[in-house]
């Protein structure tokens, strides 16, 4: 199969960007979207042209690096999948596919399809950890965790920090990401001592990074490759309100 790509090209953060159109070589419908970009880049290199810069790592839907907006949707069509889990068989022969980087002020474009998501790292540095000493590994039954709480914490921990929630939100809100990271620790016994300081610090850093407010449109949940629930935002808001009342 062959498709036509309309790709955002931008040489550097301070240069002007533009869309360029590329016809693809013959493609195997069973190759992934990133494998397709590899094939296109090989073809561009043979022609003496600059290959398309895009981010990738594990290619298994785990790392969150491969964030692309495909035909206006972060990670492309389909729920619960990252860009690397999208296959060319989901497109049709001769289709024009528009590929661009995530569009959000706190995610500046570095080159072509690569954005700088270090704002997420700075939010995590403010509270996405447990600093109390827990000692050596305990027996599994020494610190019992209720099964519902453990499962909910695991659901929150599934967030891979890809930024699709920000890119899909009309306000570029990072509330789904931050609420998942706050909840995965706040639900567990080890995270209780810093629970309220954590939420205050991470939300404050989120605001400093320039992310917008949440208006609960649900676009973040829809775009999330790990199906993180909006319920975590409500949970974080409750923790935040309690933290303010306690004055921590």
Q: What residue spans of the chain are helical by DSSP H?
A: 33-46, 118-125, 147-157, 164-168, 175-186, 195-208, 219-223, 231-246
Cβ neighbors of 2 (< 8 A, separation 6 or more) are 23, 24, 25, 26, 27, 93, 94
Contact 65, 58 (CB under 8 A): yes
Q: Let me know whether 105 and 136 are in one domain.
A: no
* pLDDT for position 190: 85
How does the average pLDDT of the chain come out, rounded?
Answer: 94
* pLDDT for position 144: 79
Which CATH number is 145's domain given?
Answer: 1.10.1060.10
Out of 111, 138, 155, pick the residue that ends a domain.
111
Q: Let me know whether 97 and 141 are in one domain.
A: no
Q: Which two tokens stand for residue 13?
A: 């953060």
| pLDDT tens-digit readout, 67-114 | 899 999 999 988 899 999 999 999 999 999 999 999 999 999 999 999
| pLDDT tens-digit readout, 176-207 | 999 999 999 999 988 988 999 999 999 999 99
* pLDDT for position 248: 66
* pLDDT for position 184: 95
Q: Let me know whether 187 and 237 are in one domain.
A: yes
Cα distances from 26 to residues 36, 38, 89, 95, 191, in angstroms, run 10, 13, 13, 13, 52
Q: Let me know whether 128 and 207 are in one domain.
A: yes
Question: Phi-psi category of 108—alpha, beta or left, where left has phi over 0 and alpha has psi -120 to 50?
Answer: beta
Q: Let me know whether 134 and 231 are in one domain.
A: yes
Which CATH number is 56's domain given?
Answer: 3.10.20.30
Q: Let me know whether 53 and 91 are in one domain.
A: yes
Q: Let me know whether 124 and 96 are in one domain.
A: no
Q: Let me know whether 241 and 122 are in one domain.
A: yes
Rounded to an integer, the average pLDDT of 146-172 is: 95
Q: Let me know whether 97 and 140 are in one domain.
A: no
Q: Let me know whether 123 and 242 are in one domain.
A: yes
Residue 73 β-bridge partners: 70
Closest CA to 102 of 169, 157, 38, 160: 169
Q: How many domains does the chain contain in total?
A: 2
pLDDT of 140 over the 90 cut: no
- Helix (H) / strand (E) element for 99: namely strand 96-100
Q: Let me know whether 212 and 136 are in one domain.
A: yes
- What is the span of the domain harbouring residue 178? 118-246
Out of 63, 93, 111, pick the residue that ends a domain.
111
Rounded to an integer, the average pLDDT of 34-60 is: 96
Out of 68, 92, 111, pick the residue that ends a domain.
111
Cα distances from 166 to residues 57, 83, 87, in angstroms, run 20, 16, 23
Q: Let me know whether 104 and 135 are in one domain.
A: no
């Amino acid at each position: 199969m062959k498709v036509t790509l309309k790709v955002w090209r931008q040489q550097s953060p301070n240069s002007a960007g533009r869309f360029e159109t590329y016809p693809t070589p013959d493609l195997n419908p069973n190759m992934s979207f990133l494998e397709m970009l590899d094939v296109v880049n090989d073809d561009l290199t043979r022609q003496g042209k600059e290959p398309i810069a895009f981010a990738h790592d594990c290619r298994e839907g785990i790392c969150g690096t491969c964030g692309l907006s495909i035909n206006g949707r972060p990670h492309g069509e389909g729920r619960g999948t990252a860009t690397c889990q999208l296959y060319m068989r989901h497109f049709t022969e001769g289709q024009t596919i528009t590929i661009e980087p995530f569009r959000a002020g706190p995610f500046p474009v570095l080159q072509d399809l690569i954005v700088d998501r270090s704002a997420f790292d700075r939010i995590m540095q403010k509270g996405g950890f447990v600093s109390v000493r827990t000692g050596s590994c305990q027996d599994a039954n020494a610190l019992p965790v209720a099964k519902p709480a453990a499962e909910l914490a695991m659901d929150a921990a599934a967030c891979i920090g890809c930024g699709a929630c920000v890119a899909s939100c009309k306000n570029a809100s990072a509330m789904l990401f931050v609420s998942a990271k706050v909840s995965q620790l706040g639900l567990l016994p080890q995270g209780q001592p810093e629970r309220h300081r954590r939420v205050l610090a991470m939300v404050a850093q989120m605001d400093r990074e320039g992310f917008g407010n949440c208006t609960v449109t649900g676009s973040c949940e829809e775009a999330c490759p790990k199906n993180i629930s909006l319920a975590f935002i409500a949970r974080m808001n409750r923790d935040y309100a309690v933290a303010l009342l306690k004055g921590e």
